[in-house]
Amino acid sequence: MVFDVTVDEEKCTGCEECLEVCTVNVLEIKGGKCIPIRVKECIGCRSCVEVCKEKAITVKELEVEMSETTRFLLRDLLSD
Average pLDDT for residues 50-79, to the nearest whole number? Answer: 88
Q: What integer pLDDT is reported at residue 80 of this predicted model?
A: 61
SS3 34: strand
Show the CA angle centred on residue 4, arms to residues 14 and 56, nearest 5°. 30
When divided into structural domains, the chain yields a total of 1
Quick check: 8 pLDDT over 80? Answer: yes
Q: What integer pLDDT is reported at residue 78 of this predicted model?
A: 84
CATH of the domain at 27: 3.30.70.20
Task: Give the domain range for residue 18.
Answer: 2-79
SS3 64: coil
Backbone phi, then psi, for 9, in 5-degree steps?
-65, -25
Beta bridge partners of 53: none
Name the band, by pLDDT with cuts 50, 70 and 90, for residue 71.
Answer: confident
Strands (E), 1-80: 2-7, 27-30, 33-36, 57-62
The CB density around residue 45, as the number of other CB atoms within 10 Å, is: 14
